[in-house]
Amino acid sequence: EAGVAQSPRYKIIEKRQSVAFWCNPISGHATLYWYQQILGQGPKLLIQFQNNGVVDDSQLPKDRFSAERLKGVDSTLKIQPAKLEDSAVYLCASTQRTGGATPLHFGNGTRLTVT
Amino acid sequence: AQSVSQHNHHVILSEAASLELGCNYSYGGTVNLFWYVQYPGQHLQLLLKYFSGDPLVKGIKGFEAEFIKSKFSFNLRKPSVQWSDTAEYFCAVNAKSSYKLIFGSGTRLLVRP
For A67-78, the pLDDT digits (tens) are: 999 888 999 999
pLDDT in tens, A81-97: 999 999 999 999 999 87
pLDDT for residue A100 is more than 70: no
Say yes or no: B86 contacts chain A, CB-CB below 8 A: no
Backbone angles phi, psi at A73, to 5 degrees: -125, -90
In whole angstroms, give the CA distance from residue B68 to residue B85. 24
B29 vs A contacts (CB less than 8 Å): none
CB contact under 8 A, B92 and A42: yes
CA nearest to B9 within chain A: A40
Rg (CA), chain B: 13
Q: Calculate how close chain A gets to B37, using CA atoms only, in Å.
A: 11
pLDDT in tens, B70-110: 999 999 999 999 999 999 999 999 887 777 889 999 999 99
Q: Calculate how close chain A gets to B99, using CA atoms only, in Å.
A: 4
In whole angstroms, give the CA distance from residue B94 to residue A109. 22
In whole angstroms, give the CA distance from residue B49 to residue A1. 21
**Domain locations in chain A as residue ranges:** 5-98+110-114
CB contact under 8 A, B99 and A43: no
Tell me, which fold does domain A5-98+110-114 have in CATH? Immunoglobulin-like (2.60.40)
Interface of A with B in 45-84 (CB under 8 A): 45, 48, 55-56
CB contact under 8 A, B103 and A42: yes
Average pLDDT for chain B: 93
3.40.1360.10, 2.60.40.10, 3.40.1280.30, 3.30.1390.10: CATH of B3-112: 2.60.40.10
Give pLDDT, residue A52. 86
pLDDT in tens, B46-60: 999 999 999 999 999
Q: Give long-range contacts, CB 8 A cutoff, 24+ apart: A62-69.
A: A67/A34, A69/A32
pLDDT in tens, A3-31: 999 999 999 999 999 999 999 999 999 99
In whole angstroms, give the CA distance from residue B37 to residue B90. 6
Q: What is the DSSP string of B16-82?
A: T--EEE--EEE-SS-EEEEEEEE-TTS--EEEEEE-SS-SEEE-GGG-EEEEEGGGTEEEEEESS--
